[in-house]
Structure 1
Amino acid sequence: MAYINNYREPIELAQGATTASLSLPDGEYRLTLTNSASAAWEIVDAVVASGSATLTRAVEGTSDQSWPTGSTIYCAVTAGQLNAMANPGESGVIVSNGPPTETPPAVGAIHVSTLATLERACVAVGTRGPEDWLPLSVLPPLNGYEATSAESSYSIERSAKEISVYSPYQQTGAFSVVLTMPAWEASPLGFSLLIEPQPSASVVTKLDLSALLPPGRALVGEAQDFGSGATLDLVGTVLSITTSERVIVSRLILEYGETEVWFSLEIRPAAALPAFIPLG
């Protein structure tokens, strides 16, 4: 919405008319019409291009009227604009004892988790689902899944974006797990998948991405590998990641086209496990 100071000009406008010539710069305006006695008013929205305005009549509960000779149109702050500034929508702060699991109420909303060890803020960048909460800091994985020799399987919640896969403690050999990923409608902001094989073990993590595909669309993608040493393979809608080292998968980006769903991700070595040193 554009605003302009000291604008007023005469106007004649028939009831129901949706075009007028106005001496305004190009832009979108909210304007007020009044008669010569300043005894009647109508608020309109005007989209101006090269001096020609397309009008939306009877805005903010006013009436579409006929404006005869002697009427004027001018730019002034209206009650609707003041109310919009005083009540900017549902953007606000949500406080809970855990990560956000619901769709954001509005773009710009803030979610604050106060649970010990999970203290964090997220900001909403969309309203399509919990995937639109953007974390403002990084936490360890909140959901862990064990790979087994018989190939375990789990369904991932739409709000679960920080997850880990691990092999059985102190066991060697080959293990695998299938993770059925949720039907995200947008890129899951803050996504991370930590894969942690035990020493002398390997893990195959199969990401079933079929829920991302609308009917009739194919899945294509690419990975940026920053020296992870892992092997990646996409067969149909299942992406398999095979590794015997700790790796982390992040920055999962989704784009929906007319005939395909495209994804990209990054995979890199995970940070070394910490050594705990007694002090004092």
Structure 2
Amino acid sequence: MNFVNNWFQVVALPLGATTLALDLEDGDYQFTLTDDAAAATRWEIVTAEVLSGNATLVRGQEGTVAQSWPAGSVIYNSVTAGTLNTIDSRLAALESGGTGAIVGDALPGAQDIPTAVGALYAVPGTGVWVSMGTEHGSDWARLVGSYYQNAYQYPAGTPGTSFTAEYDQRNFGVSVSDAYIGAYPATLVMPWVGMPYGLEIHITPALADSIALSMDFTAMGEQAYVQIENSGVDGVELSVSGGIVTVTVAEACTLKLVSHWREGNEFGVDFQLVPITPSTIISYPE
């Protein structure tokens, strides 16, 4: 996490906006938005990943609510209760002579930047993550446990539907009900500046039809280079336009992130595409 003394910027930020131009060096930050620098009446805490002067925001953090901020509002860098609680819990773990793992009550998010490669983050009863880098909250890779799958299904008459993936998740499903046939295009907007380790997308087209899924990685860079290892999925088409990657498939399959690289505003990703095999449900008593 980056900190800047005595920094603030006058801004306007509509409700729902997740990008903002900020005059800061690249890195991860936590900011507070307020309506007036001298006589504030309301606040919102956000996390931000800044790249080349543009920040990708996660709104309404630490119990605050995403709001509309008109021209003349202020965004500034300050220590929050969440920051202090994180520091306190880490100090307590060190003083107790424990495992050194960070123990949290939620999945690692944008604000949970690993302090070292190989660090551990544990959520009791849910899972354990190991850090693969020290730049982004997405550098945590799942070691034990599983994600809940976030499923998006689009209804009839809504081609071009766009969904924004949840930052702290890595397992997503996009499907079209058999009742709504037609190769409806859909877009899954990726909120990460750093590539999310363990990313899996389960794609299910309508029966006897295809689905074109676009993955918008523009928060990561301006130009993508993509390679897909196809492990037996029929009728696959791939296209890339800037930072948007589109995969068209005609059967249920899973797209798995294998490896990635990034250099400036260019990035590369290697995926594996595997068929989804029917599952068998066993219950007792019948």
Question: TM-score, normalized by length of structure 2?
Answer: 0.56
Deviation by residue 1:101-147 (Cα, 9 ceiling, x = unmatched): 242442243223345xxx22112232222211111146365312224
Code of the residue aligned with 1:164 in structure 2: it is: G
1:112 correspondence with 2:122: yes
CA distance in structure 2 between the aligned counterparts of 1:263 and 1:135, rounded to whole angstroms: 19
CA distance in structure 2 between the aligned counterparts of 1:105 and 1:140, rounded to whole angstroms: 19
- Is 2:183–2:210's contact at 8 Å kept on the other side of the alignment? yes
CA distance in structure 1 between the aligned counterparts of 2:146 and 2:267, rounded to whole angstroms: 29
Query: CA offset at residue 195 of structure 1?
Result: 0.8
The count of aligned residue pairs is 187
**Could you say what secondary structure the match of 2:219 adopts?**
helix
Code of the residue aligned with 1:249 in structure 2: it is: L
* Counterpart residue number, 1:103: 112
* Counterpart residue number, 2:223: 218
Code of the residue aligned with 1:227 in structure 2: it is: G
CA distance in structure 1 between the aligned counterparts of 2:179 and 2:124, rounded to whole angstroms: 34
1:194 correspondence with 2:199: no
Q: Unaligned 5+ residue runs, structure 1?
A: 1-85
Task: Provide runs of 4+ in structure 1 moved above 6 Å.
Answer: none
CA distance in structure 1 between the aligned counterparts of 2:101 and 2:147, rounded to whole angstroms: 26
The alignment's C-alpha RMSD in Å is: 2.9
Query: CA offset at residue 258 of structure 1?
Result: 4.9
Code of the residue aligned with 2:271 in structure 1: it is: L
Deviation by residue 1:149-196 (Cα, 9 ceiling, x = unmatched): 4221012233222111111364433322111112322x3211111112
Q: Unaligned 5+ residue runs, structure 2?
A: 1-93
CA distance in structure 1 between the aligned counterparts of 2:279 and 2:272, rounded to whole angstroms: 20
CA distance in structure 2 between the aligned counterparts of 1:182 and 1:158, rounded to whole angstroms: 6
Match of 1:206 among 214, 218, 221: 214
**Could you say what secondary structure the match of 1:136 adopts?**
strand
Match of 2:160 among 151, 154, 163: 151
Query: CA offset at residue 91 of structure 1?
Result: 4.3
CA distance in structure 1 between the aligned counterparts of 2:246 and 2:145, rounded to whole angstroms: 25
* Counterpart residue number, 1:180: 189
1:94 correspondence with 2:74: no
Query: CA offset at residue 201 of structure 1?
Result: 4.0
Match of 2:170 among 146, 161, 166: 161
CA distance in structure 2 between the aligned counterparts of 1:274 and 1:184, rounded to whole angstroms: 38
Cα pair distance change 1:276/1:244, threshold 3 Å? farther
Match of 2:260 among 250, 254, 260: 254
CA distance in structure 2 between the aligned counterparts of 1:271 and 1:141, rounded to whole angstroms: 19
**Could you say what secondary structure the match of 2:183 adopts?**
strand
